[in-house]
Amino acid sequence: MRETDLYPAVKRFLESQGYEVKAEVTSCDVVARRADEPPVIVELKTAFTLPLLLQGVDRLALADLVYLAVPEQARRDWAPILRLCRRLGLGLLLVNGRHVEARLDPGPYAPRPSAPRRARLLKEFQHRRGDGNEGGQTRRPVMTAYRQDALRVARALAAGPQKVATLRQDTGVARAAALLQADVYGWFAREARGVYALTEKGRAALGQFADVLASL
Confidence of residue 111 (pLDDT cuts 50, 70, 90): low
Asked if 87 and 109 touch (Cβ cutoff 8 Å), the reply is: yes
Residues of the chain with CATH 1.10.10.10: 141-210
pLDDT of residue 46: 92
| Single pTM value for the model | 0.62
Range in 1-5, 18-22, 167-171 the model is least confident about: 1-5
What confidence tens digit (pLDDT) does each residue in 16-43 have?
999 999 999 888 999 999 999 999 999 9
For the chain, where do the domains classified as CATH 3.40.1350 start and end? 3-104
Q: Tell me: pLDDT of 75 over 60.
A: no
CATH fold of 141-210 reads: Arc Repressor Mutant, subunit A (1.10.10)
Q: How confident is the model at residue 213 (pLDDT cuts 50, 70, 90)?
A: very high
How far apart are alpha carbons 161 and 192 in whole angstroms? 9
Strands (DSSP E) contained in 76-154 are 91-96, 99-104
Of 58, 55, 57, the residue nearest 44 (C-alpha) = 55
Question: Architecture of 3-104 per CATH?
Answer: 3-Layer(aba) Sandwich (3.40)
Average pLDDT along the chain: 91
